[in-house]
Amino acid sequence: MDTSKVFEFPIKEFFKQPRSLLGAGAYENAGPEAAAMGLRHVLFVTSGLRGTGIIDECKTNFENAGVSVTVYDKVESNPKDYNVMDSYKAFADSECDGFVSIGGGSSHDTTKGARVVAAHDGRNVNEFQGLNASETLDNPAHIAINTTVGTGSETTPAYVITDLSSPNAPHKWVGFDRASITTLAINDPVLCMTQPAEYIAYTGFDTMAHASECYVGRVQHLSTTPQALSAVKLVQDNLREATYNPHNYKAMEQMVWAQYIAAQAFSSGLLGILHSLSHAVCAYYDIHHGLNNGVGLPRVWTYNQPAAPDKYADIAEALGVDTRNMSIPQAADAAIESVIRLVKDCGCPENFSRVAEYPKTRMGKGHYEGRPTSAIQSDDEELQKMAEHMMGDLCTPGNPRDLTTEAAKEILRDCVYDDMVVKTTNGYRQNVWGMAPTSGRQTPQALAQRPGPN
């Protein structure tokens, strides 16, 4: 019997976690740890972390331990395939024997890709998208030193690369590969204190996305969903303080724990269409991944709520809502209202059309198919392309509610043009994308014509 016809995810895969160090001063152990591994010459892979002094300090730390260092500091936001291939070339040309990624998800993901390329004699990284695509597990060692509160990439088997060279470009793909798990993960809250406030907020939204998607998703690992809900609460309790008072060590440490726990959870419990949406938007607009998640959180929660109202009611409690006198649908509604408050409080733009250009991005520079330099304005053709991108994303099957191309287009259209508000008619929530109502209190009315490009 083909049990896949009866059970979704009948066999659940558990990915190992790398050895990890977490706490103040942990990054100072990186050089001695590399030496203990037998490494003699490593490649630092980073965006540069301009103005922080972290790279120079880490380089001195490694050299004092007897490990030589070459630096590749050209990693871009939403790492590109050529970032991976260029870092592999630097690794090979300098005859390095190990990698050290320093930064957030972009640095770690670039390094994961470069390790896979190195293990396959320089083949193009775009050959390795998908699940366990590596043909060998014999990768060079990788120490990941994290400086953000959102990625989780320093511990997970996942990495995400933007393809700009194949006929599929622009395409942001997911690799989920046991071969890409790091050798050692280092999380030091002191390093996270160097981030600009907006990056603390954006990476915190990524953690909220990881945790909430794992908790409501279809896979439902009994060993990971409790972790995911714990991470939701940690973000709610600490992200505002970490954003606006980054020198509050306790708040930053709690956010580091949140991102670490959420990453452990989704490594086995997987993700959903919020990440599919973010990948599609990154491919076309090169917006910060965490910012995408902030804009998308209330829209995707609204779409998914009919499929998992009890789970969103649990999330409402984790977000600090007193749900004792609420029905499950009312509590699920309150979760959406609460997350809107969180992302607004932390300075997230209302929608993608309000996103300004920021360092390390190519947004607005005409990089993608003659992209105009004005604000983002998606026409129907581009919304269709991004919707199709979402449908083919590796994260989509884990979503609690089935996705259609038309529903994906409407979610995207909302993210591009609409304000971040609860959708209501006569005081009751609309089911914005049709099908089942989002609560038991009303029959959803047909949605009026959605706004489009001016």
Q: What is the pLDDT of residue 278?
A: 97
Mean pLDDT along residues 148-162: 96
Looking at the domain assignment, is residue 453 inside a domain? no
User: Domain holding 311: CATH number?
Assistant: 1.20.1090.10
pLDDT at 454: 32
Whether residue 445 lies inside any domain: the answer is no
Share of the chain above pLDDT 90, in %: 79
Average pLDDT over all residues of the chain: 89
Q: Are residues 286 and 338 in the same domain?
A: yes
Mean pLDDT (whole number) for 101-123: 97
Where is the domain boundary, 168, 192, 216?
Answer: 192
Is 132 found in the same domain as 29? yes
Report yes or no on 54 lying in a domain: yes
Domain termination site, one of 140, 173, 192: 192
Q: What is the pLDDT of residue 424?
A: 45
Q: Tell me: pLDDT of 236 over 60.
A: yes
**Structural domain range at position 305:** 200-429
On whether both 103 and 237 belong to a single domain, the answer is: no
Task: State the CB neighbour count (10 A cutoff) for residue 414.
Answer: 24
**Mean pLDDT value across residues 367-372:** 49
Q: Is the pLDDT of residue 402 over 70?
A: yes
User: Cβ atoms within 10 A of the Cβ of 401, count?
Assistant: 19
Asked whether residue 39 is domain-assigned, the answer is: yes
At 1 the pLDDT is 63
In a domain, 320, yes or no: yes
pLDDT value for 375: 67
Total domains in the chain come to 2
Domain match, 106 and 127 both: yes
- Strand ranges across the sheet with 184-187: 19-22, 184-187, 141-146, 98-103, 41-46, 68-72
Asked if residue 249 and residue 150 are part of one domain, the reply reads no
Does residue 200 carry a pLDDT above 70?
yes
Mean pLDDT, residues 156-179: 95
Domain contains 1: no
pTM: 0.91
| Residue 173 shares a structural domain with residue 212 | no
Spatial separation of the C-alpha atoms in residues 348 and 297, rounded to whole Å: 11
Half-sphere exposure of 195 (CA within 13 A, CB side): 30
Please check the confidence at residue 45 and state whether its pLDDT lies above 60.
yes
Residue identified by tokens 């959870």 is: 265
Residue 172 sits in the same domain as residue 60: yes
Tokens of 102: 């320093």
- Report pLDDT for 430: 52
Residue 281 lies in a domain: yes
Q: Is the pLDDT of residue 114 over 70?
A: yes
Average pLDDT, integer, range 200-209? 98
Q: How far from the centroid of its chain's Cα atoms is residue 29's Cα? A: 27
In this structure, the answer to whether residues 164 and 208 fall within a common structural domain is no
453: confidence class by pLDDT, cuts 50, 70, 90: very low
SS3 per residue for the chain: CCHHHCCCCCCCCCCCCCEEEECCCHHHHHHHHHHHCCCCEEEEEECCCCCCCHHHHHHHHHHHCCCEEEEECCCCCCCEHHHHHHHHHHHHHCCCCEEEEEECHHHHHHHHHHHHHHHCCCCCHHHHCEECCCCCCCCCEEEEEECCCCCCCCCCCEEEEEECCCCCCCEEEEEECHHHCCCEEEECHHHHCCCCHHHHHHHHHHHHHHHHHHHHCCCCCCCCHHHHHHHHHHHHHHHHHHHHCCCCHHHHHHHHHHHHHHHHHHHHHCCCHHHHHHHHHHHHHCCCHHHHHHHHHHHHHHHHHHHCHHHHHHHHHHCCCCCCCCCHHHHHHHHHHHHHHHHHHCCCCCCHHHCCCCCCCCCCCCCCCCCCCCCCCCCHHHHHHHHHHHHCCCCHHHCCCCCCHHHHHHHHHHHHHCCCCCCEECCEECCCCCCCCCCCCCCCCCCCCCCCCC
Domain edge (last residue) among 192, 213, 242: 192
Q: pLDDT at position 441, please? A: 26
The reply to whether 35 and 159 lie within a common domain is yes
- Largest alpha-carbon pair distance within the chain? 69
Is 364 a residue whose pLDDT tops 90? no
Say if residue 404's pLDDT is above 80. Answer: yes
Q: What is the mean pLDDT of residues 76-90?
A: 96
In a domain, 11, yes or no: no
Nearest one of 200, 136, 396, 168 to 284, comparing CA atoms: 168
Provide the pLDDT confidence category of residue 358 given band limits of 50, 70 and 90: low
Q: Between residues 357 and 110, which one has the greater pLDDT?
A: 110
Looking at the fold, whether 214 and 141 belong to one and the same domain comes out as no
Report the pLDDT value the prediction gives residue 221, as an integer from 0 to 100.
86
What's the CA gap between 212 and 118, in Å, rounded? 34
Domain co-membership, 261 together with 132 = no
For 247-256, what is the mean pLDDT? 98
111: domain CATH number is 3.40.50.1970
Range 362-385 average pLDDT: 67
Provide, rounded to the nearest whole percent, the portion of the chain with pLDDT above 70: 88
Q: Kindly state whether residues 156 and 293 are assigned to the same domain.
A: no
Q: What is the mean pLDDT of residues 58-72?
A: 98
Say what the pLDDT of residue 360 is: 56
